[in-house]
């Protein structure tokens, strides 16, 4: 089982990826406790994916996008979804998950986000294939 400080670091990385902001200690500690209880085991391939994802939120976004399409039940995504559930349930981050008023420009934002998502999948597929090739 991993050290709690490793899980605290992971929580910060995942939270930054999901919300684009630093995550507070209570949520990091909740994530660490969840990871200790869940004891998610990685294959060599998943460990290489996870190590790559921990290098930064952009890389995490690319790999997560590719896995969402290609391998949605991957254990790396279980860790991300655990943190997402913690953040959604936390009063500290309620404003990130509630709907807001928007203008007509919101439609443009949706289009841009959609294009970005497709680009992330394409780049992520390349990264995932390279990692998978290294594991073979």
CA pair distance 12, 26, nearest whole angstrom: 11
Give the pLDDT confidence of 21-51 residue by residue, as tens digits: 999 999 999 999 999 999 999 999 999 999 9
Domain range list for the chain:
4-135
Please say whether the beta carbons of 27 and 82 come within 8 A: no
Structure tokens at 7: 């899980």
Indicate whether this model's pTM tops 0.75: yes
**Per-residue model confidence (pLDDT) at position 1:** 55
Per-residue pLDDT reduced to its tens digit, 46-75: 999 999 999 999 999 999 999 999 999 999
pLDDT digits (tens, 9 = 90+) for 72-123: 999 999 999 999 999 999 999 988 888 777 788 888 888 999 999 999 999 9
Both tokens assigned to 77: 């995504």
Contact 33, 86 (CB under 8 A): no
Residue 10 and residue 13: Cα distance in Å, rounded?
A: 5
Looking at residue 124, what is its pLDDT? 95
């Amino acid at each position: 089982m991993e050290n709690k400080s490793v899980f605290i670091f992971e929580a910060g990385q995942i939270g930054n990826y999901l919300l684009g902001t630093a995550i507070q200690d209570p949520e990091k500690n909740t994530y660490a406790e969840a990871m200790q209880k869940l004891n998610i085991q990685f294959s060599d391939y998943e460990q290489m994916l996870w190590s790559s994802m921990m290098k930064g939120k952009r890389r995490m976004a690319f790999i997560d996008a590719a896995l969402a399409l290609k391998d949605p039940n991957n254990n790396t995504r279980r860790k991300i979804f655990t943190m997402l559930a913690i953040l959604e349930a936390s009063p500290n981050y309620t404003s990130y998950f509630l709907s807001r008023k928007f203008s007509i420009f919101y439609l443009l934002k949706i289009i841009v986000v959609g294009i970005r998502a497709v680009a992330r999948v394409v780049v992520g597929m390349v990264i995932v294939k390279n990692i998978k090739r290294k594991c073979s």
